[in-house]
Structure 1
């Protein structure tokens, strides 16, 4: 019972469904088919029982097959679903694929379709079970703590789990298809090739430590295992051991590194214990304090730094965990009794079970002096949000606030005491602006009592961004002091970023130009006191409505368009403001409502589409901008297309569904009848059914295929001719291909052209006909010739007409389809006599591709 494959078949034609069950169950003893005639019955059976596959028709009265597929996918995401339909089209196939169909198969004539259907059912069920098993295996591998990958025979990754990818800093998808060298530093690749891989080939296994490289260039040491599979694939398992290796290496280097740092550091360093005893001072500490090492080694730390007492020091040390750093400021005492300020960083560590502390100290005398200087200007500059420079009489920068530094990406140290003009020349984009800036600075420095010069605009480039700054110059009236030197003259330069203001002005100018010259009807609406009034319209609006700005400014929609239409428009405006979302709507107007209506649609109406968008002004969303477009031409095209599609859908529905299903049932019944008895009448009936099926196929081809091809590709003419030769009726005939040219064509349509020409040649020339496909010598194109009886010159034009046939049993559409496909490619097709007296079709106007 475990081998039974349960199939649910949904088709609103009971006779045809019974026929399908009979023939399909013959193909495999495991098949057990249950048939229902509606989508609702199918959903009920799926809810109450388990099935391995669903086969469904498309065109059914309650719901179509695509809707049924959507309902099935909501509950059964991986259940195989085969859409088996008589109403085949590219649109249906596309919708089925988008909805997640497993297979799409069109009902054909004859019983040869049922083995194909049975085979597709079996493959879909087998594929589902295989995917489930593979998913279970991959989930187990993905949950593994080790990094796992598999390489093919050429040593390219064909599988990488998440842990392996994370270890190398990649996504799994980035590593698939890459060579193993991606994961190794360049200097290690030769070792892998010469030692590791040969060992794996000889022993089938290798284990050791290697260094892997990550995507950011860093490396990681891994415990690495390699093993080969029966198929020659290579399975790699890795575990990160870089932390352990790094700790071992760091431990070996630590002593020498610390010793060099201790002896040569520009900072003052001392080691002390938990009681405050200085154990070891470095040379820099001795030099700066005037003590020798033996004197410092006999002191307590609070004797050196008398800004703290011993109780505060102990409290501080108790707060510091091993490896943690604590910062403080103090004052070291020199041997001569003088002091100097220091910045100290203290860290703790354990040495042979004892707490030890290391203190790094740096002389911050100059920094303290600078901080004192800056505090003199702090109160003056705290309230200024713009960039501020203070320049002395030598045009050197003596102060710059944080905003000014952020503008050009510099630090205070980089511009301290630097001339300002080289900075201006470096970051300014315009020479004329630099000249104006220099002149204004000179004026401010030389004559502080006159009116302040400026403003001067400069375009400043910092990195990839450019900003416009307006500079104003103000002489400093007091006598500032910087360090130990008085500055007799100084100028404060205030730079304000006016980029946004400039951009807004430019944007407004651009918007104004677009507003005036737009082809669409544009308008601006203001919402005030719960009313919507028109503020402005463009020239296109005035032209279309016959109303000027003076006529409509300040008017409500009700005053302009009447109460009914006005209320409807106001409702849309209100909805736009309340939701804060753009809104589009269409209006159908009578001709008399639009003075300059252009060309109305056939029904005498004018169609407009309007798009409105809310705009925030001064923090409130009380404005609406709108655009209206005349869509009369679009409506005419839509109406004509709708009428045409309705006629085409009605035609193809009748041909595809209403005729094909009964013919399939008749064809199947005839085969069952031939199993029970022998009769020439049954053979004649089968032949008639086949002719009807062929007629339906040709009619559907003519009806569904487009008369224009949107996209073509480069195809080999010989390949298409060979592929088209595979259908059964061509097997006894002989084909000669004498072309190597490549052309621009739709490969599917071109194959259909060849298939119809082959069928025509076999039907008229017999099974021993010889067909030749070759190049035209005098112009771009190719020919198709046979050695059959040929077509009389009086009939050579008529054979391309729909329904015309020189054979009693022909459909009369084959050559019509050939001409339709040629015309769709913008080709010409002509019929002449071949050199053997048969038919020769010449296709010209073909775009030949030279390699």
Structure 2
């Protein structure tokens, strides 16, 4: 079996355009832009539909105006059978009406053709981003299916305390159908005498600590009650995740779940796949009391499952775990099928790897396309439903951790490449820029040519672009050096670094935040510069506190509602001389800190940039 392609593998693109020469040109440029892209071209919608039936395609790029069926009709045909397949409309015939119709039909992205080769770089980026989003959503759906099959009751409530998700186990625990609970308030499931305690004591504790565990009394649909083991945790978006077990039948399950929750932080903090494997093996051994278990990772280069971590008991029973080649053993069967395999006795199972193995009970849990986690016992029928369910929970945590580690490692590599590229470009362009600037001064001394002023402006803009490009690349790197930062002190220091003219700074902030000082300085200086640029040198800029962060506001002309979603985009600028990097640098700095950045209107009618989810060091 070949594993499903990750974003680091090949991305198969189908390009449909009735101009074969243009289609071939686009394919050539896309494949040059990124070695992962492989482009197939056809010239009609009918051929495009046929090619989708014949090939595994990761993204469709289509023209709009074509003979026969147009791009929107093609999109509708694709969405009928493949609602999640990324589809980008790449057309020279653009209008607001076409864009609106494309969005309504479910287009992933919309891009107008240009005249320069830069459009192919932009198109390549749009394709990669669309495929990455689609694959991330597919991974989330797999995790959701794992939650659906969990034996413990799991629900999610919005900030108003109403159910936005419940799994079957949760609804069954209270005697309801799932549809009956969605949109209902949590108080439906608790006796009136207990709801006040939940509101006044439990929920404030969850908001303060992010987590709460204890026993509560559940109220079933038929009016009966039961004591439930209850866990509550908050999400970054203000939602509440509830895990509930009936303590009557799940004492052991309850304790194991609690212990597994304690390992969730370890999974989150793991930095390598080897660390993830060690955590998973230890959790299954110590929490689930399965002393013989091992973790195999898929090696794409050798097309094999390689042992990464295993317990001492495993080595006592079978020696050092083997490497599994395609088709070998129960381990490969689980990996290839993507389905958990549970055997009460493998003594007569022809698929067992070693006919002389002392293992009788076998549990093999696939980790998507990343490997397999094996549990065994010399006793037959050693694993009950509860243990299998808990082992699946560990596997789900491990799979999510492996995905996160891969994303972070790839992001680090991308950031390193970006920084290296930017340094090279900046260095190699500085010398000729300095030469051109010097020659310009000599030319001005020798003659009075009216064109020299335009040359001066162009060179100045080039230097500004180089500075902003270097700042943007640095802002997106993942390396931070957090320390306590006094916002008022830093704001006043930043004010001296920006050309502010007659502008005024008001520093109401009392917050001391934990952040990288140099990055916060870049963020503030860019926000100050943006306010002065758009509000004039008489603008008043205020830095103030938020409950979970800070804001920078001004009394300038503000930002139109239609533009608020676009102001952080790379290249967006409303001024002729603007580079469009300033606010995108602000966004990158916020993202790398894990902050939530948003723009709204200030009390004075200007712009207000709010930075939330900031770690506070103290008053």
TM-score w.r.t. structure 1 length? Answer: 0.27
- The structure with the largest strand share of the pair is 1
Q: Bigger relative contact order, structure 1 or 2, given CA contacts below 8 A and separation 6+?
A: 2
Larger radius of gyration: 1
TM-score w.r.t. structure 2 length? Answer: 0.35
